[in-house]
Amino acid sequence: MSHSSPTSVNTNTIKFGTDGWRGVIAAEFTFERLTLVAPLAAQVLAHTYGDTASNRTVVVGYDRRFLSEDFARATADAVTAAGFDVLLSEGYAPTPAFSWAAKQHHALGALVITASHNPGRYSGLKVKGAFGGSVAPAVTQQIEALLRQGVTIQATPGTLQTFDPWLGYCNELRTKVAIDKIREAIQQGKITVFADVMHGAAAGGLARLLDAPVRELHSKRDPLFGGGAPEPLPRYLSEFFEQVKTYRRENSTGLSVGLVFDGDSDRIAAVDGQGNFLSSQILIPILLEHLVARRGYSGEFIKTISGSDLMPKVAALFDLPVFETPIGYKYIADRMLETKVLLGGEESGGIGYGNHIPERDALLSALYVLEAIVESGKDLSDLYRNLQERTGFFAEYDRIDLPLASMDARSRLLHQLETQPLAEVAGKKVVDCLTGDGYKLRLEDGSWLLIRFSGTEPVLRLYCEAATLEQVHKTLEWAKEWASQA
């Protein structure tokens, strides 16, 4: 039973973004606020998925951030007190492991304590549905509505059990790839695998999945993430690049690859045998080819508006239908629930698969990357070059986040784009403009610039793909200059 009552805790600033509620620990993200939100989230999960779930169980999991296990325990206690049965994780694990657990245990869903790739001062709560993926915005809006109403729940307490989330998750992932073939290649020295887990929840995961040696960096728990953020971007990976390059200098035989995981292991990047960074703009085309040509899979390919033009060109090689969404994995997940999908991926490293759950999963992506290398006998960059040659498409890509002076400056730029559309960018004529998510300007030479605004802060996100890196940077500089004049 639930009823409304006045509460002394300010819940107005509890807002769910594209993937959960995040806040600075001890300022916005507190035990008091979390234990108000969690039972309401469980109630909304019951209301949304109660007909499909076979019990009143909610999975509760967490990452390796500061106080994560304590936040998870408080969440579990609050949800149990509200009349739900709770499966509480025995330890940290990847967010996709908890999404899988929700589906495997036919639960109402999962509540995961994580702030993903944010800096160390943040924590957060991700809400996952019974189907094994992020809930729709309509679901989190219901949670916010109950908070505003001051609803509290009184019920006969449920039960609380603990479980090992790695067990079922690893067993499931191993069924997706030729695990014996990868293990054998590692044991025979045909491939050396490096992993930068960025002090996050993927720590120990790859070695556990493969039951083979993996050279893992930043395995120790560090809630400050070495002073950076657990995000798979080149600026945080200099030590990892050096490790892979040093190995290559000292070992001329065999293939090598580096795999990078974000804080809660739902996003991936890679490093080739020479120590070069490969974003998912490069990995997605490689994975597409691998899944179709070597695994014989088919289905729709989903990309976001910021995905490289190489992606649809590779899809065309194999007659795969392509569906484009706004940026945000939730749009990909929604589509995955509607139709037969091969793969859905976003430029920031989130990749999911139609033969699994509608969820980004970095460890599954890592296994497919390893399988592609082992079965082809080629370095990642050679696989990429081969696709460029086959499609005749060669391009470079980069993006920058540009802080603006204020939300007023943001409004002025937005107004300018709406009322005075850009006809020219960096001396090149604009031939097309897509406005589904920001402003994607396609230029006369085939390059493109995407201008997007953060919904919550005065930040301009600029994305560009062009024939050369010099041209990419010239276009991004032009966009920065344009933005500064508003």
For residue range 240-284, list pLDDT tens digits in order. 999 999 999 999 889 999 999 999 999 999 999 999 999 999 999
Identify the CATH assignment for 396-484 out of 3.20.20.70, 3.30.310.50, 1.10.10.10, 3.30.390.30: 3.30.310.50
Decide if pLDDT at 7 tops 60.
Answer: no
Give the E-state strand segments of 197-335 in sequence order: 215-217, 255-261, 268-271, 277-278, 300-304, 322-325
User: Reduced to 3 states, what is the DSSP secondary structure of residue 190?
Assistant: coil
Find the range with the poorest average confidence among 194-203, 288-297, 409-418.
409-418
Is residue 42 over pLDDT 90? yes
Mean pLDDT for 331-351 is: 95
CATH class of the 176-391 domain in this structure: alpha beta
Average pLDDT, the chain: 94
Collapse the DSSP code of 76 into the 3-class scheme (helix H, G, I; strand E, B; otherwise coil) and give the result: helix
Give the pLDDT score at 2: 52
Distance of CA 363 to the CA centre of its chain: 11
pLDDT 10s digits, 78-109: 999 999 999 999 999 999 999 999 999 999 99
On whether the CB atoms of residues 350 and 329 are closer than 8 A, the answer is yes
Ranges for all domains in the chain classified under CATH 3.40.120.10: 2-164, 176-391
Query: Which candidate, 324, 346, 327, places its Cα nearest to that of 335?
Result: 324
Given a cut of 60, whether residue 380 has pLDDT beyond it is: yes
What pLDDT, on the 0 to 100 scale, is given for residue 152? 87
pLDDT at 5: 45
pLDDT of residue 4 exceeding 60 = no
- Note whether 231 and 242 are within 8 A (CB): no
CATH of domain 2-164: 3.40.120.10
Please state, in angstroms and rounded to a whole number, the distance separating the CA atoms of residues 311 and 286: 9
Residue 54 has what pLDDT? 80
Backbone φ and ψ for 218, nearest 5 degrees, come out as 60, 45
**Cβ neighbour number for residue 253 with a 10 Å cutoff:** 6
pLDDT at 172 over 70: yes
**How do strand 428-434 and strand 439-443 relate by DSSP bridges?**
antiparallel
Q: Give Dmax (Cα) for the chain.
A: 69
Q: What is the mean pLDDT of residues 348-355?
A: 96
Q: Partners of 269 in the beta sheet?
A: 260
User: From residue 61, how far is each of 72, 75, 98, 268, 356 by CA, in Å?
Assistant: 6, 9, 6, 20, 20
Residue limits of CATH 3.30.310.50 in the chain: 396-484
What's the pLDDT at 3?
52
